[in-house]
Amino acid sequence: MGRSGREAVEKYLPDIKRNLRTDVVIVNGENAAHGHGITGKICKDLYDLGVDCITTGNHIWGQKEIILYIDRDPRLLRPDNFPKGTPGKGTYLHHLDDGRKILIVNYMGRVFMEPLDDPFAAVNDLMKQVVLRKNVDAIFIDFHAETTSETMAFAQMLDGKASGIVGTHTHIPTADARVLTKGTAYQTDAGMCGDYDSVIGVHKEIPILKFTRKMPTERMTPADGDGTLCGTFIETDDITGLAKNIAPVIAGPFLKNTMPDF
C-alpha cells in the first residue's frame, strides 16, 4: 500500500527470504503506486528484491500505463475471471531451478465487488486441465475478495486440489492460517504491507471525515509512516503437492511480529 508498503518490502523481504529459504515469493501489488494500481517501474523494483510473481485485484488498472505494459510482463497477473479479451493473464507457471513447477493463479470475488465472471466456475474449468503432481508440483491461488465467507467457500471447494489459497483485499491480516482437512493451506487475508497507523493504509483523517460527515472527501491518500510487512509462509510436500504447514509472517511496527518456527 503506497510508498510505506514498498519500503517495508524492501526493508524486510531480503532477510525473510534468506531465513526461510523461500523457493518462490508472491506479492499482491495492486495498491503499490500511491495506493492505486502499479507501474512497470514498481514491478521491476519488486523483481529486483526477489519477488517472482505479482498478483493484483480490482485496482489493477489504477495506473493507465499498465494497460499497455501488462501483456509484456507474464509475471504480473490480473484476476483470471476478468472477461475474455481483457489485457494480461490470470495465471503464471513459475519454474524453479531444480525443475519443479508452481502454477500461480489470481481470482477476484464478486460479493460487494465489481461484477466479473464467476470465479468458482472459472477455477473448476482450470482444475480440469491442471492437477497437482501430474503436470505441476504446486498450485497457489490469490483470491482477492471483500467477504470472508466467499473466500472461505472458494477455499473449501478447492481443498485437496490446490497447495495454498490466501485471500487479499481487506488490508487486515486474519488469525486463521491453517491447513484444511484435505491438505490445502489457507488464510482468509494475508494483510497489507503498509503503514498500520492508518485506516487500511489510508491517512486516518480522510476516511474518518467521510464516515462522520457523509460528504465527498479528498482522494484516499496512503499513510506514509513506517510500514509493516504482512504475508504468509507455506511449506508444501514434494510428494503430494499439498501443504505441510502455513504460518503468518509479520515484520514491522504496530502489529505483533511473528515468523514461522517450522
State pLDDT tens for residues 175-229.
999 999 999 999 999 999 999 999 999 999 999 999 999 888 778 899 999 999 9
* Non-local CB neighbours of 60 within 8 Å, separated by 6+ positions: 30, 37, 38, 66, 70, 78, 79, 88
pLDDT for 230: 98
The grid coordinates listed for 68 are 499497455
Domain ranges for the chain, please list them: 2-251
Antiparallel, parallel or unpaired: β 164-168 and 138-144: parallel
Antiparallel, parallel or unpaired: β 178-179 and 229-236: unpaired
As a whole number of angstroms, the distance between CA 245 and CA 253 comes to: 26
- pTM: predicted TM-score of the whole model, two decimal places: 0.97
The grid coordinates listed for 45 are 523494483
Q: Give the mean model confidence (pLDDT) for residues 131-151.
A: 97
Question: Options 3.40.1390.10, 3.60.21.10, 3.40.50.1860, 3.10.105.10; which CATH number does 2-251 get?
Answer: 3.60.21.10
Read off the pLDDT of residues 42-101 as tens digits, 9 standing for 90 and up. 999 999 999 999 999 999 999 999 999 999 999 999 999 999 999 999 999 999 999 999
Supply the residues annotated as catalytic. Answer: 59
